Chain A
Amino acid sequence: MSTSSAPLLDVRDLTLRFGNVTAFEDVSFDVHRGELFAVIGPNGAGKTSLFNALSRVYEPSAGSVRFDGADLLGLPVTRLAAAGLGRTFQNLALFDQLTALENVLIGRHHLMHAGALRGGVWLGYARREEHRHRAAAIEALEFAGVAEHAHTPVGMLPFGIRKRLEVARALAMEPKLMLLDEPVAGMSVAEREEIAALVCRLQSELGLTVLLVEHDMGMVMAIAQRVLVLDFGEMIALGTPAAVQSDERVIRAYLGQDLEAVGGGLTQPPVLASQDGERRSA
């Protein structure tokens, strides 16, 4: 039985390699219960690969991960949901032919039990189960503000709605830890604020622990408690937003030059063009 002060997620020396290419190496950090923890870094830093390793889309090459006291890497992929891990995907992994409600109900899959026999009979167990979980699914949709699209096939929904729907689906899984993979990528400024508010509410109203991968510095600095910065697959900073913002290595990674030349720390989303040229590409 874990105490509430023990970290919910404890990552030690996690490494992922694809043949000769190292996605990330020796990444160690922990995430406390109820915390909003962000992973940032320039393009190609290995952030999404880290998520994919945690949710076992890829198998890590080395290292260990303890989740709520148990060894996460020992679990088969299909047991991650039951263990309490929920995630959204950077490029969206919604089921386009299904409606929004049906998508969220897939999130409830591991909490439901009807199989081909009970489901086919419908009356009795399966029907009761469906009623219960549909209600829960609708609550998740309402929390994310997309309930009015419940019966629309996802393929017909606009991008912004789909992004929120992914969050609703992950939420419906009743996770202990939410992995949000670039939730505001590709959105307008107004949409970003709405999603940021939604993410905050996950933490503030529901008490969820959130692990966030993001590019948008402004959003991350505003809502995260602690930040991990990756660059080329290596950890280069770990700490509070303020500490990380003024960390020289971080600034160099994003801007490729010294603090003095820029005239201060990062207060806005960084421009990725660089003056020493060779390393940065947008």
Chain B
Amino acid sequence: MARISRQRPSRPKVAATVAVAIVAILLPFAMNAFQLTTAVFVVIAAIGALGLGVLTGYAGQISLGHAFFLAIGAYTAAVLGGNDHLSAAIWLPAAGLVAALCGALVGPAALRLRGLYLAIVTIGLVFIGQHVWFNVAAISGGPGGRSFPAVAFGSFDFSVGNQLTIGGLVIDHNGLYYYLALIILALAMLYVWNLSRSRPGRAMQAVREREIAASVMGVNLARTKVSAFAISSFLAGISGALYASFLSFVTPDQWSLLLSVQYVAAIIVGGIGTVWGPVLGSIVIFALPPVLQSLVPQTASGGVPIDDITSIVYGLLIIVFFVFEPGGVVGLARRLQRVWEGARARQEPMHKHDGEEPSQRQEQSMEERVPTWAK
């Protein structure tokens, strides 16, 4: 009985998570400014990617509209923090909540629309959003863009030049954003993990697999889809607000379809339907362009813009990656894990369960076990 009812993750997984956490905490001290900036972008993006992972990975709702919700979060932060000068303790959660509300309003579309139809409506959201951002200068600053508030808690703010000294350690502007984003990411991952092992996460996955059967089992499709959109948009809003705040200046053309596509790429590359997938995928997708840019020497490009070269390589890597590892990074990790387990199994004999023969256990369970609630 105890063998079956295992709820805690296995020891190797816990150890690996702790190791990653330690590395993540120590990372800023091993990196130069450029690398740390990239890391900040990656962690902030991972928050948003996690959200998309809930919507598309767990609930199976295809969305290319993530850029729209990122923008909503960013502009909420701008209006509350920049125009009204409220503290980050207010505008950051508000960014998430306003975006979540918008997500909940879009959610019902997923009840009527499926698959590609839903996907293209979400593309429409991005374009309509961009139309609004380009035209309503009061919110977005118009095509020229606007500045975004730095994170500030009370009198201490994260803007460039400020730093925090703890013990002998100095944490600069990048480091502050990094740790803030890291904490939020950790909380978000915990939330999503809890979701996946409890009733609502299961319901989402059932809806992804077979809607009709799920509803016959009692799953409320409307509630499940709307909450998936709301959760996804909440995380997108927070991610968008942090992103804009870190960049401190954003033009509306940045909330583009390409940005949505990058998030979709991140969750697919990382592995659909997992907690770590979106995070690993974000590392690949969002760290790659800056890394590529730093690798290509400025002089060797022969007049061709660096952006184009890095984009070409980026696109080729996506193609090559998916041709050879369709399961994404998590698929790759699972493949390696199976190889590892296969090697170990060949070394140990099969052990019996609790000293009984398997067939004995089977007979007993068929005849004698009647569910207690049925008596």
Q: Which of A's residues lie within 8 Å of B, judged by CB?
A: 55-57, 77-82, 87, 89, 93, 95-98, 101-102, 105-107, 109-110, 112-116, 118-122, 126, 129-131, 134-136, 138-140, 142-143, 145, 147-148, 150-151, 169, 171, 173-174, 205-208
Q: B210 contacts A116, CB within 8 Å?
A: no
For this complex, 26 residue pairs linking A to B, each with C-beta atoms less than 8 Å apart, are A77-B216, A78-B215, A79-B218, A80-B218, A81-B218, A97-B205, A98-B202, A105-B202, A106-B217, A107-B217, A109-B199, A109-B217, A109-B218, A114-B199, A114-B200, A119-B195, A120-B195, A122-B198, A136-B372, A139-B370, A139-B373, A140-B371, A145-B366, A147-B4, A205-B370, A208-B374
**Are A89 and B221 also in contact (CB < 8 A) when A143-B371, A145-B366 are?**
no
CB-CB < 8 A to A134: which residues of B? 5, 7
Binary flags per residue of B198-235, CB closer than 8 Å to A gives 1, else 0: 11111101101110111111111101000100110000
B197 at the interface (CB under 8 A from A): yes
CB-CB < 8 A to B203: which residues of A? 106, 109
The binding surface of chain B is classed by DSSP as: helix
Q: B218 contacts A97, CB within 8 Å?
A: no
Additional A-B contacts beyond A78-B218, A120-B198 (8; CB < 8 A): A95-B209, A97-B208, A98-B209, A109-B219, A139-B372, A171-B371, A205-B374, A208-B374
Q: B231 contacts A136, CB within 8 Å?
A: no
**Total A-B residue pairs with C-beta atoms closer than 8 Å?**
149
B365 at the interface (CB under 8 A from A): yes
Residue of A whose beta carbon sits closest to that of B196: A119
Complex Cα gap A106–B220 (Å):
12
CB-CB < 8 A to B372: which residues of A? 136, 139
Which residues B331-375 have CB closer than 8 A to chain A?
Answer: 358, 361-362, 365-366, 369-374
Interface centre among A96, A118, A120 (most CB of B within 10 A): A120
Q: A109 contacts B202, CB within 8 Å?
A: yes
**Are A136 and B371 also in contact (CB < 8 A) when A87-B216, A120-B194, A130-B198 are?**
yes
Q: A116 contacts B5, CB within 8 Å?
A: no
CB-CB < 8 A to B214: which residues of A? 95, 106
Q: B195 contacts A116, CB within 8 Å?
A: yes
B236 to chain A, nearest CB (A): 16
B273 at the interface (CB under 8 A from A): yes
Q: B219 contacts A116, CB within 8 Å?
A: no
Q: A95 contacts B227, CB within 8 Å?
A: no
CB-CB < 8 A to B191: which residues of A? 120-121
CB-CB < 8 A to B210: which residues of A? 93, 95
CB-CB < 8 A to A119: which residues of B? 194-195, 198-201
B interface residues, how many (CB within 8 angstroms): 47
CB-CB < 8 A to A110: which residues of B? 217-218
Complex Cα gap A112–B213 (Å):
18
Complex Cα gap A126–B223 (Å):
18
B267 to chain A, nearest CB (A): 15
B339 to chain A, nearest CB (A): 18
Complex Cα gap A89–B198 (Å):
25
Interface pairs A-B: 4 shortest CB-CB: A81-B218, A110-B218, A93-B213, A119-B198
CB-CB < 8 A to A113: which residues of B? 199
CB-CB < 8 A to A147: which residues of B? 4, 365
**Are A98 and B200 also in contact (CB < 8 A) when A139-B371, A143-B369, A145-B362 are?**
no
CB-CB < 8 A to A87: which residues of B? 216
Binary flags per residue of B40-70, CB closer than 8 Å to A gives 1, else 0: 0000000000000000000000000000000
A89 to chain B, nearest CB (A): 7
Q: A95 contacts B205, CB within 8 Å?
A: yes
CB-CB < 8 A to A115: which residues of B? 199-200, 223, 227
Residue of B whose beta carbon sits closest to that of A101: B4
B81 to chain A, nearest CB (A): 26
**Are A116 and B231 also in contact (CB < 8 A) when A139-B371, A143-B369, A151-B4 are?**
yes
Q: B217 contacts A142, CB within 8 Å?
A: no
B341 to chain A, nearest CB (A): 14
B373 to chain A, nearest CB (A): 6
A196 to chain B, nearest CB (A): 13
Q: B218 contacts A121, CB within 8 Å?
A: no
A81 to chain B, nearest CB (A): 3
Q: A80 contacts B370, CB within 8 Å?
A: no
B28 to chain A, nearest CB (A): 29
Question: Which of A81, A98, A143, A145 is within 8 Å of B216, CB to CB?
Answer: A81
B374 to chain A, nearest CB (A): 4
Q: A173 contacts B218, CB within 8 Å?
A: yes
Residue of A whose beta carbon sits closest to that of B198: A119
Residue of A whose beta carbon sits closest to that of B353: A148
